[in-house]
Amino acid sequence: MFRYMHKTAIPIIVLVLSPFVSGFAQSEARCVRGIVTGRDGAPLGSAVVQIEDTATLRIRSFVTGNDGAYYFMDLSPDRDYIIKAHYRNVWGRAKTLSQFDSRKEASVNLKVEALKEQ
Protein backbone atom coordinates (compact mmCIF):
# COMPACT_ATOMS: atom_id res chain seq x y z
CA MET A 1 0.00 0.00 0.00
CA PHE A 2 2.85 2.44 0.77
CA ARG A 3 4.40 1.75 -2.65
CA TYR A 4 1.08 2.59 -4.37
CA MET A 5 0.60 5.79 -2.37
CA HIS A 6 4.15 6.93 -3.11
CA LYS A 7 3.66 6.62 -6.91
CA THR A 8 0.41 8.56 -6.92
CA ALA A 9 1.55 11.22 -4.45
CA ILE A 10 4.28 12.60 -6.72
CA PRO A 11 1.99 13.52 -9.66
CA ILE A 12 -0.52 15.06 -7.25
CA ILE A 13 2.19 17.20 -5.63
CA VAL A 14 3.38 18.35 -9.08
CA LEU A 15 -0.17 19.27 -10.10
CA VAL A 16 -0.77 21.16 -6.88
CA LEU A 17 2.51 23.12 -7.05
CA SER A 18 2.61 23.85 -10.80
CA PRO A 19 0.37 26.97 -10.67
CA PHE A 20 2.69 28.45 -8.05
CA VAL A 21 5.83 27.65 -10.02
CA SER A 22 4.46 28.97 -13.33
CA GLY A 23 3.09 32.06 -11.59
CA PHE A 24 6.49 32.70 -10.06
CA ALA A 25 8.22 32.42 -13.43
CA GLN A 26 5.73 34.78 -15.08
CA SER A 27 6.08 37.35 -12.32
CA GLU A 28 9.79 37.60 -13.10
CA ALA A 29 9.12 39.06 -16.58
CA ARG A 30 8.81 42.80 -17.02
CA CYS A 31 7.29 45.10 -19.60
CA VAL A 32 7.85 48.55 -21.04
CA ARG A 33 5.37 51.03 -22.44
CA GLY A 34 5.49 54.58 -23.63
CA ILE A 35 4.36 57.25 -26.08
CA VAL A 36 6.16 58.30 -29.26
CA THR A 37 5.90 62.03 -29.88
CA GLY A 38 7.16 64.49 -32.48
CA ARG A 39 9.06 67.71 -32.00
CA ASP A 40 5.85 69.55 -31.05
CA GLY A 41 4.96 66.94 -28.42
CA ALA A 42 2.02 65.53 -30.39
CA PRO A 43 1.68 61.72 -30.41
CA LEU A 44 2.87 60.03 -33.60
CA GLY A 45 0.56 57.37 -35.00
CA SER A 46 2.09 54.71 -37.27
CA ALA A 47 5.58 55.16 -35.80
CA VAL A 48 7.63 51.98 -35.65
CA VAL A 49 9.15 51.23 -32.25
CA GLN A 50 11.93 48.65 -32.02
CA ILE A 51 13.28 46.99 -28.92
CA GLU A 52 16.56 45.12 -29.09
CA ASP A 53 17.80 42.61 -26.53
CA THR A 54 21.49 43.52 -26.22
CA ALA A 55 22.48 39.97 -25.23
CA THR A 56 20.79 38.08 -28.08
CA LEU A 57 20.44 40.97 -30.58
CA ARG A 58 16.82 39.90 -31.07
CA ILE A 59 14.67 42.80 -32.30
CA ARG A 60 10.92 43.11 -31.83
CA SER A 61 8.79 45.82 -33.45
CA PHE A 62 5.53 47.57 -32.64
CA VAL A 63 3.54 50.03 -34.79
CA THR A 64 1.85 52.74 -32.72
CA GLY A 65 -1.81 53.62 -33.00
CA ASN A 66 -3.14 57.17 -33.31
CA ASP A 67 -2.30 57.76 -29.64
CA GLY A 68 1.42 57.08 -30.26
CA ALA A 69 1.45 54.36 -27.59
CA TYR A 70 3.58 51.22 -27.66
CA TYR A 71 3.92 48.21 -25.35
CA PHE A 72 6.37 45.31 -25.08
CA MET A 73 5.89 42.49 -22.59
CA ASP A 74 7.73 39.33 -21.50
CA LEU A 75 11.08 41.09 -21.16
CA SER A 76 13.83 39.46 -19.14
CA PRO A 77 14.65 41.32 -15.90
CA ASP A 78 18.36 40.53 -16.26
CA ARG A 79 18.91 41.94 -19.76
CA ASP A 80 19.49 45.41 -21.17
CA TYR A 81 17.25 46.61 -24.00
CA ILE A 82 17.68 49.40 -26.54
CA ILE A 83 14.43 51.10 -27.55
CA LYS A 84 14.09 53.45 -30.52
CA ALA A 85 11.37 54.85 -32.76
CA HIS A 86 11.23 55.49 -36.50
CA TYR A 87 8.76 57.81 -38.23
CA ARG A 88 8.77 58.90 -41.87
CA ASN A 89 12.43 58.07 -42.57
CA VAL A 90 13.66 59.64 -39.31
CA TRP A 91 15.00 57.75 -36.30
CA GLY A 92 14.63 59.20 -32.83
CA ARG A 93 17.33 58.98 -30.18
CA ALA A 94 17.62 55.48 -28.72
CA LYS A 95 17.05 54.89 -25.02
CA THR A 96 18.22 52.04 -22.84
CA LEU A 97 16.14 49.99 -20.43
CA SER A 98 18.77 48.70 -18.01
CA GLN A 99 18.73 45.41 -16.18
CA PHE A 100 19.38 47.49 -13.05
CA ASP A 101 16.02 49.21 -13.49
CA SER A 102 13.95 47.08 -11.11
CA ARG A 103 10.51 48.30 -12.24
CA LYS A 104 8.27 45.48 -13.44
CA GLU A 105 6.45 47.96 -15.71
CA ALA A 106 8.77 50.65 -17.00
CA SER A 107 7.69 53.78 -18.85
CA VAL A 108 9.99 55.05 -21.61
CA ASN A 109 8.69 57.86 -23.82
CA LEU A 110 10.40 58.43 -27.16
CA LYS A 111 10.71 61.52 -29.32
CA VAL A 112 11.28 61.63 -33.08
CA GLU A 113 12.36 65.00 -34.38
CA ALA A 114 12.52 65.84 -38.06
CA LEU A 115 15.93 66.36 -39.59
CA LYS A 116 16.89 69.98 -39.92
CA GLU A 117 16.79 71.35 -43.44
CA GLN A 118 20.20 72.11 -44.89
- Compute the Cα dihedral for 33, 39, 45, 50 and give only its sign: negative
All domains of the chain in start order, with CATH: 29-111 (2.60.40.1120)
- Secondary structure (3-state) at 11: helix
**105 pLDDT band (50/70/90 cuts)?**
very high
Assessment of whether the complete model's pTM goes beyond 0.85: no
C-alpha torsion sign, points 15, 17, 21, 26 = positive
Using CA atoms, how far apart are residues 47 and 88, in angstroms rounded to an integer?
8
Mean pLDDT in residue range 29-44: 96
Reported confidence tier of residue 3, pLDDT bands at 50, 70, 90: low
Average pLDDT over residues 59-76: 97
Q: How far apart are CA 115 and CA 90, in angstroms?
A: 7
Quote the strand ranges of the chain, DSSP E.
30-37, 48-53, 59-63, 69-75, 81-87, 90-91, 95-97, 105-107, 110-111
Nearest alpha-carbon partner for 95 in 74, 116, 72, 65: 72
